[in-house]
Structure 1
Amino acid sequence: MFRLEAEVDPVRRDILRGRLRETNTAASSVLRALRGTPHEREVPLHVWLMDERDEVAGGLVGHTWASWLHVTYLWVDARHRGAGLGSRLLAEAERLAAGHRGCRSVRLETWDFQAPDFYRRHGYQVVCVIEDYPPGITEYTLVKHLR
């Protein structure tokens, strides 16, 4: 019997994620080689920019896995933009990923109206372009090799 549900069940989600990882690891010698290494699991990497009132003025949220940093979110409050703070957040995340986590590369996604040029200026290269995702917007996947 099949049951379609719109709500997320975290227990079933984690079961599915675990079983998919087991299947992938069994099929890939590269993923099997990660077992028992620091790169085996996703580890959060967050860098925060706090203002004078100790409120979030910006931040970078991502995780490291398999020698890669994946940047999920990078944001700086409009009041603080133009002062190089986004560049500092990105540089600090790259430094931590390379120095403390042994990462060799970074990947991220951004939309055409967000920051593709910002990332290009920081050495990122476009590796994938998806037009009309969502409709009327272009999504870019960019990567940077740290070493």
Structure 2
Amino acid sequence: MAINLEHLIIEPVLPAEPGDVEELTTQLRAYNHDKLWQNVKQPIGCFIRDLEGKLIGGVFGFNSWGWLNIELVWVDENYRDNDLATKMMEKMEQYSIIEGLSRIKLETGSFQALDFYKKLGFEVYAELDDYPVGQTNYYLKKILES
């Protein structure tokens, strides 16, 4: 059956409508689910708070397809240089092993924490120059030992 494409409108939208993004996500996940084994993408976080409940730092990511994909790592500037990020990353590794995940991946910029992640045993598997312009974005992974 031929589809008539003449009535379609193709245009960029800024900002993207949240409902459209949600529909894209739903449709792509359904497609991926049919092609690959089931992916239960679960959010996981490790957070540090002071006694008043103020957020001091955190690590956030998803377990997905046997990997832990870390998306955010942050520690309040007043608490840096106290190994808090290292302790949170260690907790995330422990979680990964308990959950049967075999690898962790993340990305960082040249202006961020490349050396920190290398000290934790991560290795660079790809680089993207000029992202942002004048900087490099690094993609790192770590194979976990159970």
* Equivalence for 1:144: 142
TM-score, structure 1 as length reference: 0.85
Q: Which runs of 5+ in 2 are unaligned?
A: 1-7
1:140 Cα deviation after fit: 0.3
CA distance in 2, matches of 1:89, 1:131: 29
SS in 1 for 2:27: helix
Please give the per-residue CA displacement for 1:71-125, whole angstroms capped at 9, x wherever unaligned.
Answer: 11101111111111110010111111221x2211000010011100000000000
**Partner letter of residue 59 of structure 2?**
L
Partner of 2:29: 21
**Residue 5 (structure 1) aligned with residue 13 (structure 2):** yes
Bigger Rg, which one: 2
Query: 2:134 and 2:67 mapped to 1: Cα distance?
Result: 30
CA drift at 1:25: 4.3
Q: Look up the SS of the partner of 1:22 in the other structure.
A: helix
SS at match of 2:135: coil
| Aligned match of 1:87 | 86
Q: Distance in 2 between matches of 1:140 and 1:7?
A: 27
Gapped runs of 5+ residues in structure 1?
Answer: none
Deviations 1:33-75 (A, max 9, x none): x22xxxx221000110112322001001111101100111101
Cα RMSD for the two superposed structures: 1.5
Counterpart residue identity of residue 121, structure 2: G
Distance 2:21 2:86 in 1: 35
Matched, 1:127 2:135: no
